[in-house]
Amino acid sequence: MTTKKSKVVGLEQVVVRFAGDSGDGMQLTGSLFSDSTAFAGNDFATFPDYPAEIRAPQGTVAGVSGFQIHFGQNTIYTSGDLADVLIAMNPASLKANMKWIKNGAIIIIDIDAFTEKGYEKAGYASDPLTDGTLDGYNMIKAPITAFTKEAVKHLDLDNKSVLKTKNMFALGIIMYMFNRELKHVNTYYEKKFKANPLIIEANKAVLAAGFNYADTIEALGSTFKVEPAPLEKGKYRNITGNVATAWGFMAAAERAKRELFLGSYPITPATEILQELTNHKDLSVKAFQAEDEIAGIVSAIGASFTGSLAITTTSGPGLSLKSEAIGLAVMTELPLVIVDVQRGGPSTGLPTKSEQSDLLQALFGRNGEAPVIIIAAQNSVDCFYSAFEAAKLSLEHMTPAILLTDGSLANGSEVFKIPRMSDMPEIHPPLVKANDASYKPYRRDPEKLNRFWAVPGTEGLRHRIGGLEKENISGNVSHDPLNHQNMIMLREEKVQRVANYIPEQEVRGKSSGELLVVSWGGTFGVMRTVVEKMQKEGKSISLAHFRHIMPLPKNTEEVLSGFKKIVVCEINNGQFVKYLKMNFPQYKYAQYNKIQGLPFMIAELEEKFNALLNE
């Protein structure tokens, strides 16, 4: 394998997209390639794009499953706009992905799947290979199915098992193309299928066959090499946003010396957090799969009352169901983190697509005056730090916090520099010691205004809390008019004072100028890429990307005041901009909104910002 015929071309960054039928194993292919990318020392980000149905009709566009990886020798902020290389295992995956590839991209297809029948299922009226559809692209028509069969014919495998390995042929081609070693993939199969040597052998054989095929054919004029990225020294791993979220809470529980309790109900795209936490009983995590969304949150409230770091995880529709219970947590002034992995709404909406459209629900979607802390994670790795911070703030300020992530962060993966727990901040929940004679259920800390946490089982602190309004300090049920107003103001002020415990808003670029780009949450990667690009071109443009939504950082007004124009970019119909208008009505805000279940593209943002700068 060391005797490569083709010449090697260096590239700064590449986007590769794997696409096939949802049963073709494209997610696995993509993640194995990601692991290999990590070992090659590149920085990278990935994003899976799969249908809502588990097995949509085979061969149709509805059943296409994709996986995109963006890797490079510099820091990578997004999973990439348009692909340089597309692997299409059948006509439907070609059809579904033509709009996601660059002009002149390399397209590798399994020519054996490009049959009349295949075209019919994909809805091609004519043969795309001959009707001009693919003019200008660099086509590699590989007989993947036939060569896969050939590669394993010495093994006594049934046809279904043979076809299951053809994704390794495609991977072999790509591994050759990017000068990768096969050993990490082989090791994966050796570990994963220890009990089934035949499967190991088949996958290795097909992978090698694909690699050798690419080496042999003339079609591949050159191979590519992406040099290692100048990542900081240290230990790294690959992590998805959902796993990072789960781990952030485990880290917070450890720092707070509290047990972690999760009450949750499965919902796309948040389920992996529940799955990940059920798998960590070794760290004493109690992950409870409840009978519904409401039981998920209220069991967490019960656990919070009982002294756990309690969380609940969901997506938009589930957040709606949890509204009343969030109000209970506000009223009882208990710590609780609600994770909303946002998806396209309203109603069931677009379950597997990402959106930022739950912001106003998170801010205002409850009866009564019910403020909560809101943090929005800005990328997959940041889910770890945001979960940690949401837990810390909720525990220390004794009030619920909502953590907003989204489908693209949740499923996307990034390179994560492994932190040391001793470097993470300490967490000090305001626990009350046994028999503290001064304890009153609603006595407050004078600085933060939080009440104190007296946990059942502790001697001398028996008390009752509940959803009825309470008298301040004593905690007795009270319908007194002035007390009610006072308590509302206290709960509001308590959340506002969290601003004293969060960092100031950062501005990327100069703190004054022509155009301030404002964004929040999961769009950080693309916003940063575009703004930095335009800054290099000499444009007067800066970025304020918000992670803290409620309360807003203390210097928000100052940040907004430095620019002639402000544009707020969101994957919704303009929710954060409404919130900014409400808080800072003195400024004029332009908007850029996209609500297609798709991320922002670099080009569209650039166009919008240039237009604003040229106005």
Partner 1 sequence: MENQIIESQVINLTKDDFSSDQMVKWCPGCGDHAILHAVENVFPNLGIPKEDFVVVSGIGCSSRFPYYMNTYGIHSIHGRAAAIATGVKLANPKLSVWMITGDGDCMAIGGNHFIHTIRRNIDINILLFNNKIYGLTKGQYSPTTPKGTKTKTSPQGTFERPFNPGELVIGSQGNFFARSLDTNPKHMSAIFIEAAKHKGTSVVEVLQNCVIFFNKAHDLITSRETKDDNQLFIEHGKPLIYGKDNNKGIILKGTSLEAVTIGENGITEKDILVHNQYDADPGIHVMLARMMPPEFPVALGVIRSVAAETFETSMTDSISHEKEVSKIRNVDDLLNSGSTWTIE
Query: Which H or E run includes 341?
Result: strand 337-342
CA-to-CA distance for 70 and 88, rounded, in angstroms? 17
Q: Cα dist. 475→304, 331, 439, 482 in Å?
A: 18, 11, 11, 15
Q: Are strands 64-72 and 43-49 parallel, antiparallel or unpaired?
A: antiparallel
Site string for partner 1, 527-566 (x = CB under 8 A): ----------------------------------------
Q: Of the two residues 103 and 367, which places its CB atom closer to partner 1 in the complex?
A: 367
**∠ Cα 204 207 211 (to 5°):** 135
**Chain centre distance of CA 143:** 36
Q: Which of 71, 169, 213, 261 binds partner 1 (CB under 8 A)?
A: 261
Q: Of the two residues 202 and 329, which places its CB atom closer to partner 1 in the complex?
A: 329
69 near partner 1, judged by CB under 8 A: no
28 near partner 1, judged by CB under 8 A: no
233 near partner 1, judged by CB under 8 A: yes
Q: Which of 320, 458, 511, 591 binds partner 1 (CB under 8 A)?
A: 458
Contact between 410 and 272 under an 8 Å Cβ cutoff? The reply is yes
Q: Which of 156, 218, 459, 585 binds partner 1 (CB under 8 A)?
A: 459
Q: Which of 8, 39, 194, 485 binds partner 1 (CB under 8 A)?
A: 39
Which alpha helices (DSSP H) does 98-158 contain, by range?
116-122, 144-151
437 near partner 1, judged by CB under 8 A: no
CA-to-CA distance for 127 and 599, rounded, in angstroms? 31
263 near partner 1, judged by CB under 8 A: yes
421 near partner 1, judged by CB under 8 A: yes
Tokens of residue 263, six digits: 């009450």
CB of 199 to partner 1, least distance (A): 20
Q: Which of 7, 99, 160, 420 binds partner 1 (CB under 8 A)?
A: 420
Tokens 């950080």 correspond to: 524
Tokens of residue 201, six digits: 């052998």
Give, as ranges, the residues between 299 and 358 that touch partner 1 (CB under 8 A): 299-308, 310, 324-325, 327-328, 332
Q: Which of 18, 71, 119, 247 binds partner 1 (CB under 8 A)?
A: 247
Residue 160 φ then ψ, to 5°: -65, -45
464 near partner 1, judged by CB under 8 A: yes
Site residue total, partner 1 (CB under 8 A): 68
Contact between 121 and 96 under an 8 Å Cβ cutoff? The reply is no
CB of 424 to partner 1, least distance (A): 9
CB of 34 to partner 1, least distance (A): 10
End-to-end CA distance of the chain: 57
Q: Of the two residues 413 and 523, which places its CB atom closer to partner 1 in the complex?
A: 413
**Chain centre distance of CA 133:** 34
Segment contacting partner 1 by CB under 8 A, of 54-62, 204-212, 248-256, 517-525: 248-256
Segment contacting partner 1 by CB under 8 A, of 393-401, 414-422, 496-504, 530-538: 414-422
In order, the DSSP letters of 251-316 are HHHHHHT--EEEEE---TTTHHHHHHHHT-GGGT-EEEE-SSHHHHHHHHHHHHHTT-EEEEEE-H
Q: Of the two residues 128 and 475, which places its CB atom closer to partner 1 in the complex?
A: 475
257 near partner 1, judged by CB under 8 A: no
Q: Which of 284, 483, 555, 610 binds partner 1 (CB under 8 A)?
A: 284
460 near partner 1, judged by CB under 8 A: yes
Q: Which of 196, 462, 489, 603 binds partner 1 (CB under 8 A)?
A: 462
Half-sphere exposure of 240 (CA within 13 A, CB side): 21
**Coil, helix or strand for 487?**
helix
236 near partner 1, judged by CB under 8 A: yes
Q: Cα dist. 415→11, 31, 69, 270, 447 in Å?
A: 19, 13, 12, 20, 39
234 near partner 1, judged by CB under 8 A: yes
Residues paired with residue 405 on neighbouring β-strands, in sequence order: 341
CB of 335 to partner 1, least distance (A): 13
Residue 290 φ then ψ, to 5°: -85, 175
Query: Which H or E run includes 546?
Result: strand 541-546
Give, as ranges, the residues between 474 and 533 that touch partner 1 (CB under 8 A): 476-477
Chain residues that interact with partner 1, rule: CB under 8 A: 35, 38-39, 41, 228, 231-238, 247, 250-251, 254, 259, 261, 263, 280-284, 286, 288, 290-292, 294-295, 298-308, 310, 324-325, 327-328, 332, 418-421, 456-468, 476-477
